[in-house]
Structure formats: C-alpha cells, structure tokens
Amino acid sequence: MSACQSCGACCANFRVDFSIYELDTEGGQVPSGLTVEVNGNTCRMRGTDHVPIRCAALTGQLGTRVGCGIYEWRPSPCREFDEGSDACDRARARHGLPPVAGLQVG
C-alpha cells in the first residue's frame, strides 16, 4: 500500500497552481468547480491558499486515511509530485509524519 493513502500531507501543504487549459471547461479534465482563478492563465485548487491549507478535493482524515476525490482528473502538479521526494518529506514533517523512507514496507 502506498504511504499516500494514510498521509495526504502534500494536499494540505502547498498551493496547487496549474494552467487553465487543464480545466474541464477548457478542454482538460480537472473539475473547474473545485478550483479558483488566479489570473487569466492560471488557476488553483480551491483550499490550497487557505489557512490551514487543505485541498477541496481531499477526502478523509489527514495522516490516517485519505483519498483524492478527483484522482483520475487531478492536475499536473499532483501527478508530478513524487512520494518520497524532499518536498514530500517536508510536507509530512509539517504534519508530524516521519519521512516515507523511514516507514516499514509491507
């Protein structure tokens, strides 16, 4: 099982900005109702610029069991975010979770 399923820290730590052309209304796949406009070219996952940060698409309880409500249609920054990367470890640390590399696999 991926550490992500019991984490969600990155979805509650960073602004998630991407091109408006990823929106379903612009020929892409990301549900536009879960986003806010930043400027003419860029939009953002709703909730990722709030305090505390939490993406509107994140379901479940952070650090216990989570899911992305739009997993198949999530924007490129989410697709490109690497489990076990430095950014992942930073996000986890901010939510009191140990680095992925320190977890027992199995």
Rule CB under 6 A: choose which of 32, 60, 68, 99 binds ligand SF4: 68
4 binds ligand SF4 (CB under 6 A): yes
Q: One-letter amino acid identity for 51? A: V
Task: Report yes or no: 90 and 84 within 8 Å, Cβ to Cβ.
Answer: no
62 binds ligand SF4 (CB under 6 A): no
Element housing 44 (H / E): strand 42-45
User: Rounded to an integer, what distance in angstroms lies between the CA atom of residue 21 and that of residue 27?
Assistant: 6
The residue ranges that bind ligand SF4 (CB under 6 A) are 3-4, 7-11, 16, 45, 55, 57-58, 68, 70, 74, 78, 81, 83, 88, 91-92, 100
